[in-house]
Amino acid sequence: MKKIMCLGDSITHGDDKGGYRPYLAALLDQGKKIDFVDIYRTVSSTNELGPDGVHPQHGVYKVMAHAWFEAMKCFVN
């Protein structure tokens, strides 16, 4: 089984609109970055952002959890 280490809970970056783009932490295998999940694009593609156009509506957290699960599947086994 690969050793997985997460860098913090999340990383946020300001976008060009002055808002925040939430990212899940990078996944590392023996210190080498092997995947990075961009939740902003995942959520934006669902057209379920809140009124501010940046933060997701409550129901979208299921989409975010699914994106994380899919990213993690390749590390199991």
* pLDDT for the residue numbered 54: 63
For residues 62 and 53, is the Cβ–Cβ distance under 8 A? no
Q: Is the pTM of this model over 0.85?
A: no
List phi, psi (to 5°) of 71: -65, -35
* pLDDT for the residue numbered 43: 56
Task: Render each residue's pLDDT in the chain as its tens digit; 77 residues.
Answer: 344 444 333 434 444 444 444 444 444 444 444 444 555 555 555 556 677 766 666 666 676 677 667 666 655 54
Domain ranges (residues) in the chain: 4-73
Amino acid at 60: V
Distance CA 65, CA 63 (A): 5
Q: How many CA atoms, within 13 angstroms, populate the side-chain half-sphere of residue 74?
A: 10
